[in-house]
């Protein structure tokens, strides 16, 4: 059955000029396709990077329950990565142990704390979606603050852990998150920057904050070049 050019008018009657209508339809289709392509290219970053591995480091996602006191659930713009140390030097105070702690205290009546990642020398735990606020920076919910706009990252300092490897793992996590969220090395912050508390204490005390930032930047540049 021949469909192309089908016309149902009477024989001998002049066919209407369909070309302007056809051109208009084609233009609209082209515009719509262009808009969809533009949206696919320019859409904002995903609200959560959804990482399961960073190189050879496993990332275990175990979010706090929705509606718990430690998970306010407020969506926000990510502006910073806020670096902490747990200050828990006990043997066995690993990322997994802190994941258990944060879950056990998710509905504490006082001293509510929460953060997004805990890093040790061999693995990472992910406690909250990155695009949700948390209670880690000690600045309440100030506009452009650490709680309001920062991803909280805790580094383990347990005596039976390898602190240097924990630093390396944290550098890798930070570089990846900076890239995922279209930030840059200047988005790195210390807990101290928001509350005045000396944290990450060992990193600051050893005078290694700038060294850490430089290492993150180098990894970030390498990741960006590889994409």
Query: Does any domain span residue 44?
Result: no
Query: Does any domain span residue 90?
Result: yes
Query: Does any domain span residue 45?
Result: no
Which one has a higher pLDDT value, 205 or 30?
Answer: 205
Q: Identify the band that residue 124 occupies on the pLDDT scale cut at 50, 70 and 90.
A: very high
Query: Does any domain span residue 15?
Result: no
Domains contained in the chain, number: 1
DSSP H helices, the chain, are 19-42, 95-104, 146-149, 163-180, 192-195, 201-205, 209-226
Query: Does any domain span residue 77?
Result: yes
Query: Does any domain span residue 19?
Result: no
Sheet (strand 150-155) strand order:
53-54, 57-61, 124-126, 117-119, 150-155, 80-85, 188-190
Query: Does any domain span residue 17?
Result: no
Helical (H) or strand (E) element with 126:
strand 124-126
Which one has a higher pLDDT value, 7 or 103?
Answer: 103
pLDDT per residue as tens digits for the range 22-81: 433 333 343 344 433 333 333 343 456 778 899 999 999 999 999 999 999 999 999 999
Q: What is the pLDDT of residue 3?
A: 23
**Does residue 161 have a pLDDT over 90?**
yes
Residue 184: give the domain boundaries.
53-226
- The CATH code of the domain that includes 78 is 3.40.80.10
Query: Does any domain span residue 135?
Result: yes
Q: What is the pLDDT of residue 47?
A: 54
> Average model confidence (pLDDT) for the chain?
83
């Amino acid at each position: 059955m021949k469909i192309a050019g089908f016309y149902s008018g009477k024989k001998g009657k002049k066919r209407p000029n369909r070309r302007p209508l056809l051109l208009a339809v084609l233009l609209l289709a082209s515009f719509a396709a262009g808009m969809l392509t533009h949206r696919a290219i320019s859409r904002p970053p995903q609200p959560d990077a959804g990482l399961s591995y960073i190189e050879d480091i496993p990332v275990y996602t175990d979010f706090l329950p929705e509606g718990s006191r430690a998970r306010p659930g407020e969506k926000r713009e990510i502006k910073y990565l806020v670096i902490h140390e747990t200050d828990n030097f006990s043997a066995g105070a690993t990322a997994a142990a802190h994941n258990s702690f944060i879950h056990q205290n998710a509905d504490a009546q006082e001293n509510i704390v929460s953060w997004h990642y805990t890093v040790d020398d061999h693995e990472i735990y992910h406690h909250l979606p990155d695009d949700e606020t948390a209670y880690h920076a000690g600045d309440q919910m100030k506009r452009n603050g650490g709680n309001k706009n920062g991803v909280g990252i805790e580094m383990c300092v347990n005596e039976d852990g390898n602190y240097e490897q924990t630093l390396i793992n944290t550098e890798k996590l930070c570089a990846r998150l900076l890239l995922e969220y279209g930030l840059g090395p200047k988005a790195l912050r210390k807990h101290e920057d928001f509350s005045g508390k000396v944290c990450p204490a060992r990193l600051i005390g050893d005078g290694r904050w700038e060294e850490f930032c430089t290492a993150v930047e180098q990894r970030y540049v390498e990741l960006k070049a590889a994409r």
